[in-house]
Structure 1
Amino acid sequence: MKKVDAAVVGAGMGGLAAAAVLAAGGRSVLVCEGSGELGGCAGSFRRSGYLFSAGATYGMGFEPGGLFQRLYRELGLPLPPLHPQSVIMDVHLPDRTVRYYQQKEAWFREIRRVFPAKAQSIIDFYEEVFGFSFLLEQIAVHRPVLPPRTFGDAARLLRMVDPRLLKRAPLLLQSLGQRLRRYGIEREEAFVHFLNGQLIDSVQTTADECPVVLAYTALNVFHRGAYYIDGGLSRIALDLTEAVRSSDGEVRLRTPITGLRKSAGAEGGWELRTRRGEIIHAHQVVLGNSLHSFHGLLDEAERHGGPGFLSQEEEEARPAWSAFTLYMGCPADKVFPPVAADAADQAGAPPVLYHQFIRSYGAPLAETNQFLLSISRPGDDLRAPAGHAALTASTHTAPDPWWSLGREAYERRKQEYADSILEGADRVFPGFSDSLDVVLPGTPVTFERYTQRSRGKVGGYIPQGPLDLLRMSSAYSGVPGVYLCGDTVYPGAGTLGSAMSGWIAAERMLR
């Protein structure tokens, strides 16, 4: 029987961050990943000469003081090859293209160009976003447990709070939609759709349902720093894996965990069962494979807990998205340079690597009406053959309908979604769809198969109102000795949020 101090289930960003911090802290660590790839939903896979990113996502948190910059420094890791992006993305609305700049002054100039009627009110709104987010960052840098589950965590949280934040406490009880109404910009159709496009990709919901804390954090993070990482975000997973192994930890691929129960031995702890029947004994366990799969791992006798425990019924009642993805390869000249948002853009500006498409103002921002397209950087020979580009397109989709279809209807729906995305891309990149030499679709069924996530749910839970932050799960599972991380616990979705959740869980375990 393998015995370790800490077993980590899942080699996504949360699980690997937890494992690396635990191993650096002197704990013996074993990470068990069910698939053959590192990184979970931020991983990558190779097909037909291309290295595809599983999701169409950005590199964030590497700016001075950013979460990954601090984590790499604490682990003694050199930073990966980073390419700062002055343009976050081009957002293609039905009637205009918005060039979303990283630098604040350039972004404010663009606001005046594309939203002239309410430009000053929108700028005032963003000034509030940046000011309030600065105060929130002073808390986040200490990695608090939220919501606090113990008196100690609550006391530590209060010591972190800047008095200036207390003066703005009413904002903590509001939705973003309420703040838009405060500035008189809630009826600016194009701007609200631009804003909702950013929110749906980062926090899984739109302004009226999004808590201000989550919304302002998400809207501010790009302006802190946006980076392209050579080789994709899976490079972070490789670096964290190296940190685990350099501290004598172990990371196993193709080792799915099928059960978790309390050890009957005198030493206590937990027993984890692998699909091959191996038993692993661990004093503590980190579950980084999402709360969607939490109850399926626990033996029947363990499916109850103390404060913070989320019952299976409660978990299943929480709404969540899945994704439809399209992985593509094409000659680079079909996507570079992209259509300019402003003819006055300077010649020689770096190519725009991320594009968001919102095709209609009259439909929800899901099911291909909104999708994000990421493109590998010219010169990134890890991702694509010379003269070519690897692309990932992703749209939110409700998971359940995909599972109720027969084979013929499933294949037809998959083709319809692929055709819809290609049609949207063709409007910006003429002839794009005809130039593709690789087209690989992914559905919720695909995501469950390769990420081991129940029903293919990805991205965390969908917030449902301004107080939703109080209903989030924390690092404490409610089961003694079992901790949680990943996109379904605080601080939520995304590579940055998942890694932070793993760091929080590890720090609690080391105390």
Structure 2
Amino acid sequence: MARVVVVGAGMGGLAAAARLAATEHRVTVLEQSGTYGGKLGELRRDGFAFDTGPSLLTLPRVYRDLFAETGGDLDAAVEVVPVEPTCHYRFADGSEVDLPHDPAAVPGALEAAFGAGAGREWAELMADAARLWELVGESVLQRPLNGVGDLVRRSASVRDLWALAPWRTLRAVGRRLSDPRARMLLDRYATYSGSDPRRLPGLMTVVPYVEQRYGGWYVRGGLRRLGDALFAHCRGLGVRFEFGARVTAVRAAGGGVTLAGGAVVPADVVVSDADARHLYGHLLTDRRARAPRRALARAVPSLSGFVLLLALRGRSPRPYHHRVLFPADYDAEFDALFGPDPRPVPDPTVYVCSPDDPTVAPEGHEAWFVLVNAPRQGQVDWTAPGVAEGYADRVLDVLAERGHDVRDRLLWREVRTPADWERDTGSVGGALYGSSSNGARAALLRPANRSPVPGLYLVGGSAHPGGGLPLVAMSAKIAADLIGPA
């Protein structure tokens, strides 16, 4: 029985703790904050409840497998329900389209909204994405990856490598779509990894493919319930938790970790769910950490997010669980975020999550989570007087300009900025997705799950295979398999 310390109680850390405890390791999770879940946060106030992090679950089977393989039952713990439609999109010209939960119905919806040929073009693009998913879904995303050599060895043929075509961007792939609104819809999936579609590899068409092939899902009561269920499952497996425990150093192999104040927690194995930049840049002095430290210095953190949590009186005449309101000039948003002078986007894309769930708002009211992409703290000083509140007013104005004026319905609002994400999660500048996937190396070659320091492993959104609820759980399985049973 090995002594395992997991640094961080995000979803990747919880998933790793469950898997390791189920194989007879003695597991302690150290979390610097007062709660678990990482970015899967929640705010409750006056009968309203808001998920403050992810609001859509894709690939729920990853969590079903996690529970089943560690002696639990996800569906006995939470209610996972389909979101229908998966998302409602509105464009600057006033046109709209609903993407249905059923993947077979998506081409028809696009055909009806965008005109003849739009559905066929999208279906052809998704057919190619299905082939890419076959190439990367198991062999890359669900196994350890240690550099370009691994990627080349796992490609069965030159044809496979050609299909991956890392030199093509998502924007270049999108030129196959005749309607500019369809291209805009495709570009949006770059933001799922905090990236720029003009630099994101085209193989990331697997993101819309997965969402449409396997559907978008919601956990009744809010996605935070998924975190609650996994935390309770870990406790049932004997995992020990310490909150308010800030790790200041990860020691050499077998040395455990040092806490603020100087106490040492011994460990045979350390699993880090901390941001990889923080781990390699601040917690490790071992000389074997130099190579990943240099690689991370070259990587660009992902964009962040500016969030409004809106408690609204009354009900919307056309409620949607997810809606996206596009600007007229989408490229102007990416210029503002990824250009030489990052700044808050004057006319941003606005994402709204408003679950039709009686448990998240008082009867007859709505809880809206509103997100716009934003530069990281440091690129913009979100703590400067008036910056956050002024931009919050601007986002409400944009909502009104796009047909959703909720200002007269507003009971109260909470504002979350990149500075808040940095403080609460330890991510660099509040980067929501670890490193961006701008460029083939950034997209596929995140820090490895087995570090060059013996006994140290990485999980979570900043490590392979990347950010998002399904991927961080995959990272936990990879790390647990590398460590092996007790």
Query: Does TM-score exceed 0.5, indicating one fold?
Result: yes
Q: Which amino acid aligns with 1:127?
A: A
Contact 1:77 1:239 in 2 (8 A): no
Aligned CA distance change for structure 1 residues 424 and 129 (closer, same or farther; 3 Å): same
Aligned CA distance change for structure 1 residues 137 and 313 (closer, same or farther; 3 Å): closer
Tell me, yes or no, if structure 1 residue 375 matches structure 2 residue 354: yes
Contact 1:402 1:445 in 2 (8 A): no
2:57 maps to what in 1?
Answer: 59
2:13 maps to what in 1?
Answer: 15
Tell me, yes or no, if structure 1 residue 305 matches structure 2 residue 296: no
2:210 maps to what in 1?
Answer: 220
Aligned CA distance change for structure 1 residues 295 and 137 (closer, same or farther; 3 Å): closer
2:398 maps to what in 1?
Answer: 424
Aligned CA distance change for structure 1 residues 253 and 434 (closer, same or farther; 3 Å): farther
273, 284, 289: which one aligns with 1:288? 273
Tell me, yes or no, if structure 1 residue 128 matches structure 2 residue 102: no
1:323 maps to what in 2?
Answer: 305
2:318 maps to what in 1?
Answer: 337
Q: Which amino acid aligns with 2:173?
A: R
Alignment of 1:3-42 (within 5 A): 5-42=3-40
Contact 2:377 2:419 in 1 (8 A): no
Deviates more, 1:165-174 or 1:452-461: 165-174
2:333 maps to what in 1?
Answer: 364
Aligned CA distance change for structure 1 residues 73 and 12 (closer, same or farther; 3 Å): same
What is the distance in 2 between the residues matched to 1:210 and 1:507?
30
2:257 maps to what in 1?
Answer: 272
388, 403, 418: which one aligns with 1:414? 388
Contact 1:285 1:481 in 2 (8 A): yes
Contact 1:173 1:467 in 2 (8 A): no
Cα shift at 1:415: 2.0
The TM-score, its normalising length taken from structure 2, stands at 0.87
Contact 1:16 1:240 in 2 (8 A): yes
Alignment of 1:72-471 (within 5 A): 72-75=67-70, 76-79=72-75, 80-95=78-93, 96-116=95-115, 118-119=117-118, 120-139=120-139, 143-147=142-146, 158=154, 167-174=159-166, 175=168, 176-181=170-175, 183=176, 185=177, 188-200=179-191, 202-262=192-252, 269-300=254-285, 302-305=286-289, 309-311=291-293, 314-315=296-297, 317-334=299-316, 337-338=318-319, 352-361=320-329, 363-365=332-334, 367-368=344-345, 369-379=348-358, 381=359, 383-401=360-378, 404=381, 410-427=384-401, 430-471=404-445
Aligned CA distance change for structure 1 residues 463 and 121 (closer, same or farther; 3 Å): same
Contact 2:449 2:458 in 1 (8 A): yes
2:466 maps to what in 1?
Answer: 492
Aligned CA distance change for structure 1 residues 313 and 360 (closer, same or farther; 3 Å): same
Q: Which amino acid aligns with 1:314?
A: L
Cα shift at 1:11: 0.9
Root-mean-square deviation over aligned CA pairs:
2.8
Cα shift at 1:215: 3.0
What is the distance in 1 between the residues matched to 2:136 and 2:265?
40
Contact 2:378 2:429 in 1 (8 A): no
Cα shift at 1:313: 7.1
What is the distance in 2 between the residues matched to 1:423 and 1:81?
36
Q: Which amino acid aligns with 1:397?
A: A
String of CA shifts for 1:234-290, please: whole Å, max 9, x gaps.
22222221222112111222222122222xxxxx61232223443211111111121
What is the distance in 2 between the residues matched to 1:31 and 1:384?
33
Contact 1:203 1:215 in 2 (8 A): no
Q: Which amino acid aligns with 2:63?
A: F
- Aligned to 1:396, the other structure's residue is in SS state strand
Q: Which amino acid aligns with 2:122?
A: I
What is the distance in 1 between the residues matched to 2:146 and 2:284?
26
String of CA shifts for 1:330-380, please: whole Å, max 9, x gaps.
13513x533xxxxxxxxxxxxx2011122232522554512321113332x
Contact 2:257 2:264 in 1 (8 A): yes
Contact 1:4 1:281 in 2 (8 A): no
2:341 maps to what in 1?
Answer: none
Cα shift at 1:29: 0.5
Cα shift at 1:404: 4.2
- Aligned to 2:28, the other structure's residue is in SS state strand
Q: Which amino acid aligns with 1:216?
A: V
- Aligned to 1:209, the other structure's residue is in SS state coil
Cα shift at 1:140: 6.0
Alignment size in residue pairs: 467
Cα shift at 1:387: 2.8
Runs of 4+ aligned structure 1 residues displaced above 6 Å come to: none
Cα shift at 1:471: 3.2
Contact 1:82 1:227 in 2 (8 A): yes
What is the distance in 2 between the residues matched to 1:55 and 1:390?
14
String of CA shifts for 1:424-445, please: whole Å, max 9, x gaps.
3334564412212120111111
What is the distance in 1 between the residues matched to 2:189 and 2:295?
31
Cα shift at 1:469: 3.7
What is the distance in 1 between the residues matched to 2:361 and 2:261?
36
Listed as ranges, the gaps of 5+ residues in structure 1 are 263-267, 339-351
Cα shift at 1:77: 2.6
Tell me, yes or no, if structure 1 residue 478 matches structure 2 residue 460: no
- Aligned to 1:411, the other structure's residue is in SS state coil
- Aligned to 1:171, the other structure's residue is in SS state helix
String of CA shifts for 1:381-415, please: whole Å, max 9, x gaps.
2x22333232211222111446647x6xx232212
Q: Which amino acid aligns with 1:437?
A: L
Aligned CA distance change for structure 1 residues 332 and 292 (closer, same or farther; 3 Å): farther
Listed as ranges, the gaps of 5+ residues in structure 2 are 338-343
String of CA shifts for 1:189-247, please: whole Å, max 9, x gaps.
222211111221x1222433222333324442343121111232222222221222112
Contact 1:289 1:486 in 2 (8 A): yes
Contact 2:276 2:447 in 1 (8 A): no
